Chain A
Amino acid sequence: MKEKIEFQAEPITTKDIELFSSATLSQHSSFPLTFPTRYRKAEFEFLILLNINMRNLLHTEQEYSYQSPLVVGDKPLVVSQLKENKERRGMRFITIETQLICNGEKKVTSESTFVVREAAEKE
C-alpha cells in the first residue's frame, strides 16, 4: 500500500477560477478559498487502493491552511499522504493530507477526513 501519491498538476488558468466560482456560487473572492479541492485526485486514488465502497463513504471534515496565495499560472506539485486509516467502533476513519507546492514553495496544506460506514464490507 502506497503511503504517498504525488502528481504535477496543470497550470491554474483564469478559466479554472471562473468555472469554480460559478460552480460554487462564489461572489466575494477573486480566488475561492476551497479551489484546492480540485487537487484531491490522489485522495480518490487512495480510496480506490483501499477498496472503499463509495456508497459507504462520508466526507466528514476538511481543513485548509494557507501558507501563501495560489495565483493564476501556478503549476502545483500535489503531494498526498495517507495520515490515518483506522477502524473504531465499527467504522473506518481515513485522513489524507495534501500539500500544494509551487516552485518549491509550500502554498496550501489540506486535510480531508472520511468515515466509511460498514467498514468490514470492503475488507
Chain B
Amino acid sequence: MWELKQRLSPLVKPALTEELLSLYASASGDPNPIHLDPQFAREAGFPSVIAHGMLSMAFIADGLCANFSENKYKVEKLSTRFKKVTFPGDVLTVQGEIKKIQPDGRLLISLWTENQKGEITSTGEAEVYSI
C-alpha cells in the first residue's frame, strides 16, 4: 500500500554510451544528428553528442514500471520535462515519490532523473491506478 510522499525504489541505469545513442536513434527513428555526429553537436554549442531526451523518458518509464508492476497497475499518463542535457558517460538514476493519492485510489507520482553529480536532468509525472 503506497503512502503520500513515499519514495520509490531508485533505479540506476548503466552509463550512457555513444553506441546506445546510435541504437536508440535507430530504434526510435529520431533522425537528429545532434545525437550521433560530434561535429554537428559542436556546431550546436555542445562539447560532444548529446543524449536523446526521450531516452531519459524511457529510463523514467522503466523506473516507474520497476515500482508499479504492469501486472498490478495501469499507467494512464506519463509526462517528462527535459531540464538538463545529458552526455555519453553520464549515469542516470531514476527517482520518484508519491505526490498525491486520489480518493478513488489513483496515484499521482513525481519522477525525476539525476546524473552522477546529483543534478536533476529531467522531471516527470505519472498517473497510475491499481487493476
Contacts of A37 in B (CB 8 A): 28-30, 54
A66 and B28 CA atoms in complex are apart in Å by 18
Chain B interface category by residue count? 35 or more
Taking the nearest CB of chain A, how far is it from the CB of B127, in angstroms?
9
1/0 per residue, CB under 8 A from A, across B18-41: the answer is 001001101111111110000010
Question: A23-80: which residues lie under 8 A (CB-CB) from chain B?
Answer: 23-34, 37-38, 40-41, 44, 54-66
Q: Is the CB of A54 within 8 A of B34?
A: yes
Taking the nearest CB of chain B, how far is it from the CB of A120, in angstroms?
17
Q: Is the CB of A29 within 8 A of B70?
A: yes
Contacts of A31 in B (CB 8 A): 70
Q: Is the CB of B23 within 8 A of A23?
A: yes
User: Majority SS of interface residues in chain A?
Assistant: mixed
Whether a CB of chain A sits under 8 angstroms from the CB of B66 is: yes
Closest 10 A/B residue pairs (Cβ): A24-B58, A23-B27, A33-B61, A28-B65, A63-B79, A55-B44, A29-B65, A23-B23, A28-B66, A23-B24
B→A interface (CB under 8 Å): 13-14, 20, 23-24, 26-34, 40, 43-44, 52-55, 57-59, 61-62, 64-66, 69-70, 74-82
Can you offer 7 A-B residue contacts whose CB atoms are under 8 A? A19-B26, A20-B27, A25-B13, A28-B65, A28-B66, A28-B69, A58-B82
A→B interface (CB under 8 Å): 19-20, 22-34, 37-38, 40-41, 44, 54-66
